[in-house]
Structure 1
Amino acid sequence: MSRPLPRPRLRSTAAVFTTLSALAATSLVTGPSVAEPLSVLPCALKRTEAHHSEGLDTWNTAYPQPDRNLDAVMIFLSFPDWAPMTSPAALAADHFPATSDYFRQASYGRFTLTAHPLRQWIRMPKPSTAYAIRRDWSAERRAAYLRDALAAADGRVDFSRYDVVYFVADPDAPGVDSDATKVVNMDHPLRADGTDIRRIVTVFEQHPPDRLVLAHETGHVFDLPDLYRRPTDGKGDWDTHVGDWDLMGSQFGLAPDLFAWHKWKLGWLEQRQVACVPTGAATRLTLEPLSAGPGVPVTGALGAPAFGLGNGTKLAVVRTGTGSVLAFEARGPIGNDRSACRSGILVYRVHNGAESGRGPVEVIDAHPRTEACWQESVYPPLADAPVALGESFTVPGADVRVEVEGRTVTGSWTVKITAA
């Protein structure tokens, strides 16, 4: 689901409790869980039955894997109780090419999302108010909306040609709630043009929309979980788990590139780019900046632009249990992370059995007594979470220590990780 824009900060993180209402609730139900081998490295967690499990030893083939070109159709829905005030072309431009650009950069050019927006409105058979659209939408009303939308569009769209389906509602129609944007997964797929449609992105965003909201929703189409924390009482901060550090936590984040763990899961990192750190000894390694890839400039050790990164080690992993690991990656203000508040080695826990929205990833704060970028960050206490150059950090609750020893002339980070 989309989240309202953050309000201006007052003086400190006390103002952040309204940091944003929910981003995107994922799906109704899960599809069939068919396994396809993905990783054989010993530090790869096994995929579990948890919704959008962070396990990555196998790929759930109920989801399209974004390791090739995928085609997405954008269908614009109008309603008989309102005349659209915005053109389909303008709404398409709200999301593309920004969404495609994000994934192209995040995947190091390994994945292309090609949008095919319709040029005309498709008229729904019922008024916008008839569907009772809202965040916690009833399954019955939501199913009626999807059935009507699919039937209305079927004569103009060959659904067999597309991997991703976006139903974009007229944002100005009186019954449209911008808080209701989400991905709907169906236990029993809809069928059109001889194709099973197992998931649809229902877009109810305002015009212009929240930044990167469609990229977040599309992440769910690729089996990525929500990383924000949704308070059960509706109060408190949504961003305590990962802060700014992954798009699946917040589309407003200063450093919204996907975690290296997610890039590994999606097939954008090769096995040789992941270092499984053994226990009982110190391991020295060089980590490339996560967002560095072909054509992306990186500031080297001497302050000059450095190019040519993208094929080195991006992720170091320490196994901490049968279903958990500690992950280490280099983050800084380049690429999708160009607005990052701080640079350094980001440390986070991954749990393969945690459900989407229930803390499958938790960033560990290397500077728990300070905060940073309180006017821009979605959660300033984690904005300065990375271990900076020259610092060392022992992970609380784990006998694992990371020391950031230096930078190379090409901008990579040299680290020592000691796991007892």
Structure 2
Amino acid sequence: CALPGRTGWTDEGHDTDRNRFQPATGTRRVLTLFVDFPDAPAADRPEPYAAHLAPAADWMSRASHGRLRLENTTLDRWIRMPADSTSYGFARGLTFEAHEKYLRDAVTAADPHADFSRYDMVHVVPARTATAIPFSPTYLHDPATPGITADGARLKWAVTFGQDMWRWGHKVAAHETAHTFGLPDLYSFTGATHQYAGGWDVMGHIAGHAPQYLGWHSWKLGWTSDAQVACLPAAGRRTVRLTPVERAGGTKIAVLRTGETTAYVAESRRAEGNDATACSTGVLVYRVDSATPTGEGPVRIMNANPTAAPPTGCTPLDLAAYAPGQSFTDPATGVRIDVIAGGRTGDMVRLRKG
């Protein structure tokens, strides 16, 4: 039931290009640099910046059930960039070349103070005075270009934070770092921003109420094993007991494959762990298409309760979870998913196809 990637970039396929993207398991060594600028000198110490982002490591360890460890080293000093903050062209539509120049300048300026060969990736954090650096893009190297080297090592992956880190908090690091693992954006680049996935995965709404990575993503990243996936690859039926994705162990997802690049997925969600503030609990059902590009809805949540009035702070799609007695059907593919039972330990679903 694993799907092949078809976009040539971040997508929902399991055949992740390990030259372009880094592994999401084991220990990944991160160096955090704090930068200021001639036109935006720092007005405070870097320690509060480090403290603001530090919870991301524990958050991702919890999300991965201990399969991923971010070992973060901070260079506790301001590194002065060689050019004004306004010269780097930070705006939506920032080009790869402009972004790489910004990162290269930061690495070059910090090189006398750090051995970059010791790290897998770099985080670059700007002073709060640098309002011309507003958002936080991920850097993924291009193997066809010379790229950035320091201390004899090529820098392949980085997150360059912007002022939006103060809005999103530490989970912006979880979102952006996951791009270096190959995950796409689940929010929409056009139209209603959270029309596809709502707040059900940090790759969608970073400040969503249930930001734990989807079970499909956990499988793609290697945090969930093949043995924890119940697959229905063709016509037939199968009953599956699902353990909540927020917990370790058990069967995590049930997958009904519907085409070369498409499948429906069912998983159990509970208001605990990274999802402690979830607006609804039960069985989450979603459609995956590994040929759909990032930002165009590669994952689309099916809403069990489209007419329900969400409580304050929640959106209609945040109430999408299916309860016992509810069913999802797709006549076009012959798919039916019935929620048979639910309780403290998880949910039981019956899959049918054809």
TM-score by length of 1: 0.79
Pair 1:77 & 2:15 matched? no
- Tell me if the contact between 1:328 and 1:348 (Cα under 8 Å) persists in the aligned partners: yes
- Partners of 1:197 and 1:204 lie apart in 2 by 20
**1:138, 1:274 → 2: CA distance?**
39
Q: Does 1:103 align with 2:60?
A: yes
Shift of 1:343: 0.9
**Percent identity over the alignment?**
37
For structure 2, the 5+ residue unaligned runs are none
Aligned to 1:364: 302
Q: CA deviation at 1:206?
A: 5.0
5+ residue gaps in structure 1?
1-42, 293-309
Q: Is the 8 A contact 2:136 2:165 kept in 1?
A: no
Most deviating of 136-145 and 85-94:
136-145
Determine the structure 1 residue equivalent to 2:162: 204
CA distance in 2, matches of 1:88, 1:322: 49
Q: Secondary structure at the match of 1:276?
A: strand
1:402–1:415 contact (8 Å) kept in structure 2: yes
Q: Does residue 50 in structure 1 map to residue 5 in structure 2?
A: no
Q: Deviations over 1:276-302 (max 9, x none)?
A: 02544331110001101xxxxxxxxxx
Matched, 1:419 2:353: yes
2:329 aligns with one of 388, 391, 394: 394
CA distance in 1 between partners of 2:242 and 2:46 (Å) = 43
Q: How does 1:185-196 map to 2 (within 5 A)?
A: 185-187=140-142, 188=145, 189-196=147-154
Q: Among 315, 318, 321, which residue is 1:383 paired with?
A: 318
Residues 99/396 of structure 1: CA separation in 2 closer, same or farther (3 Å cut): farther
Distance (whole Å) between structure 1 residues aligned to residue 345 and residue 95 of structure 2: 50
Count of aligned pairs between the two proteins: 350
Counterpart amino acid of residue 215 in structure 1 = A
User: 1:297: which partner in 2?
Assistant: none
| 1:352-375 Cα deviation digits (max 9, x unpaired) | 1111112111111122333423x2
Q: Displacement of 1:105 after TM fit?
A: 0.9
Q: Is the 8 Å Cα contact of residues 393 and 403 (structure 1) preserved in structure 2?
A: yes
Q: Which residue of 1 aligns with 2:226?
A: 271
In structure 2, the partner of 1:405 is 340
For each residue in 1:163-217, what CA deviation from the matched residue of structure 2 results, as whole angstroms up to 9, or x when unmatched?
Answer: 121111112125x232x31012232221111111123211112573413111111
1:216 aligns with 2:171: no
TM-score in terms of structure 2 length: 0.93
Q: Matched residues in 1 for 2:288 and 2:165: separation? A: 35
* Aligned positions of 1:166-245 closer than 5 A: 166-174=123-131, 176-178=132-134, 180-187=135-142, 188=145, 189-205=147-163, 208-211=166-169, 212-231=171-190, 236-245=191-200
1-structure distance, mates of 2:289, 2:339: 25
Q: Which of 39, 57, 63 is 2:21 aligned to?
A: 63
Partner of 2:266: 328
